[in-house]
Amino acid sequence: MLANFHTHTLFCDGHDTVFDMAEFAFSSGFTHLGFSSHAPLPFDARWTMKEERISSYIKEIDDAKKKFNKMKIFTALEIDYIPSTWEYSKKIISDNKYDYLIGAVHLLGEPGGKDYITITGNSSRFADSLANSGKDIKSAVREYYERMIYLIKYTEVDVMAHFDLIKKVNVDFQIFDENASWYNDFLNDALDALAANPKIVEVNTGALSRKKSKDLFPSDYILKFLLKNNIPVVINSDCHRKKDIAAYYDFAADKLKSLGFYYTMIYDDGWIKTPL
């Protein structure tokens, strides 16, 4: 079965239309497709959807549902957690009905502040913004996982996106040692929060297909924790181009099976298990 619940289109920072993505997915044999534009933020963030485009987003997806009615299509959002904008984000979520929500942390600090850092760029850009922010790497990593913990404990998001995204800026360990005990302490706090408040964790192949990482999000260490604690996973490619819709899916499935997983989750008018 082919399914993807994390996809981006021209409504945010993707490169294809909703229709093109749906057509490509359908002709590639997909049975389930979820659209998850970056939810609007109340400041200038060019990679997010603009608030005034939400109604067109919903309408285009509804049109695709009618056109490709042999494939299940869903309307979702990928939402960033930033403390000062969360009230705004809650309103965005409640203004319309979404099938499910993906929670993510791509930003540290506060918009407009000198501590504002995006963690989706490359290592050297991250190092520069970190130096300008006056923070050290430990406080940046702590802030990253604290924001993930907030999403886990206090929000209605269904799926936690790219759980250890902070390592994306750390290709070849240029910025920090992922085996250091301080790193694992922050990560373990987030995993403990997850064990106490289970949510679906995404196995995200996107950075592999965009050559931004040499491994999946999350790491094997996290995957083993999820397995041990019966926390379900969903495989997504987080594609920004239709051609990447199933990129590295076989790699992800083989990895999960080799670790002992035997099912993943799919959304089918509710989250259900499906054999791997």
| Site residues, Zn ion (CB under 5 A) | 78, 104, 161, 238
Closer residue to Zn ion, CB minimum distance, 104 or 151: 104
For Zn ion, the closer CB: 120 or 227: 120
Q: To the nearest whole angstrom, how small is the minimum distance from the Cβ of residue 159 to Zn ion?
A: 11
CB nearer to Zn ion: pick between 16 and 78: 78
Which residue number, 39 or 175, has a Cβ lying nearer to Zn ion? Answer: 39
Least separation in angstroms between CB 66 and Zn ion: 25
Say how far apart CA 129 and CA 120 lie, in whole Å.
Answer: 12
Beta carbon nearer to Zn ion, 78 or 99: 78
Q: Residue 35 or residue 176: which is nearer to Zn ion going by CB?
A: 35
Shortest Å, Cβ 206 to Zn ion = 7
By CB atoms closer than 10 A (0-12, 13-18, 19+), residue 88 is middle
Burial grade of 31 (CB within 10 A; 0-12, 13-18, 19 or more): middle
Residue type at position 143:
E
- The strand pairing partners of 273, in sequence order, are 265
Q: Tell me how far apart the alpha carbons of residues 144 and 148 are, in angstroms, rounded to a whole number.
A: 6
Contacts of 166-173 with CB under 8 Å at 24 or more apart are 166/119, 166/140, 166/141, 167/213, 167/217, 167/219, 168/119, 168/120, 168/207, 168/212, 168/213, 168/217, 169/119, 169/121, 169/122, 169/123, 169/126, 169/127, 170/123, 171/122, 171/123, 171/212, 171/213, 171/214
Number of neighbours of residue 257 by Cβ within 10 angstroms: 11
CB of 160 to Zn ion, least distance (A): 11
Question: Which is closer to Zn ion, CB of 9 or CB of 129?
Answer: 9
Closest listed residue to residue 159, CA positions, set 131, 121, 201? 201
Closest CB 235 distance from Zn ion, rounded Å: 14
Cβ 36 to Zn ion shortest distance, Å? 6
Rounded least distance, CB 104 to Zn ion, Å = 4
